[in-house]
Amino acid sequence: MSSTTPPIQTPIPPEAESIRSITKVAGILALIFGVILMIIGAAMLLHIVGVIPLIFGIIDIIIYSNCSEIIRLIEMGDYRRAREKTLIWMIIGFILGGIIIGILLLVAYLKYDELLRYIQQPRQLTAQV
């Protein structure tokens, strides 16, 4: 009988954990706003105006799915790609997703500098020795 051992996971740095938490909150808010806007848009579809909230609701749902992708990249340790993706969706969040979502993603984006410095710090110490 062979036993399978779980893969050894490297601990996530505290900076990455805070970015992941902020991104989760932004994603949850995008999902909530998306559902609310889609309901409002569907209810107002009899009027032409109902298309606008419907479109914004769909964009919020897309932001939610991309926040999940950013969280997956963070958990994989691919911080540079997560940072690039956060920048793109932060801008879209500000313009189309809502100011709160954009601000949360901005805060997460700004924390990447601290995280990347933390990641490079041990490499610099070993290079000096």
SS in 3 state form for the chain? CCCCCCCCCCCCCHHHHHHHHHHHHHHHHHHHHHHHHHHHHHHCCCCHHHHHHHHHHHHHHHHHHHHHHHHHHHHHCCHHHHHHHHHHHHHHHHHHHCHHHHHHHHHHHHHHHHHHHHHHHHHHHHHHC
Write down the pTM of the prediction.
0.79
- Mean pLDDT over residues 61-77, rounded? 92
Higher pLDDT pick, 47 / 10? 47
Query: How sure is the predictor about 5, in pLDDT bands with cuts at 50, 70 and 90?
Result: low
Q: How much is the pLDDT for 122? A: 61
Query: How sure is the predictor about 68, in pLDDT bands with cuts at 50, 70 and 90?
Result: very high
Mean pLDDT of the chain: 84
